[in-house]
Amino acid sequence: KEELIDILICPQSKQPVIYVERSQELWCKASRLAYPIRDEIPILLVEELGNSHYLKFNRFLSPICGKFVPPDF
């Protein structure tokens, strides 16, 4: 599982994604998108995402410095 995550990239930004176990999602810092994982399959289709996947990611941006503050992994 970790080996697969290590090679996955965000289809929008072409940057690596990080796995967030708590929400069962793959997050991309560059595009600020959260991709769901359904039945152990990552759904890396931008057109399948709603606004909630973008807004969810932004909740973890620090309002003071704008840096990404990830949830506990």
Q: In whole angstroms, give the CA distance from residue 70 to residue 20.
A: 8
User: Taking 90 as the threshold, does the pLDDT of residue 45 lie above it?
Assistant: no
What backbone phi and psi angles, to 5 degrees, belong to 11? Answer: -70, -20
Q: Is 1 helix (H, G, I), strand (E, B) or coil?
A: coil
- Which pLDDT score, from 0 to 100, does residue 70 have? 54
Higher pLDDT, 52 or 72: 52
Q: Is the pTM of this model over 0.75?
A: no
Burial of 51 (0-12, 13-18, 19+ CB in 10 A): exposed
- Which pLDDT score, from 0 to 100, does residue 52 have? 60
Instruction: Report the percentage of the chain scoring pLDDT > 70.
Output: 66
- Which pLDDT score, from 0 to 100, does residue 15 have? 93
Terminal-residue alpha carbon distance, the chain: 15
Higher pLDDT, 37 or 5: 37
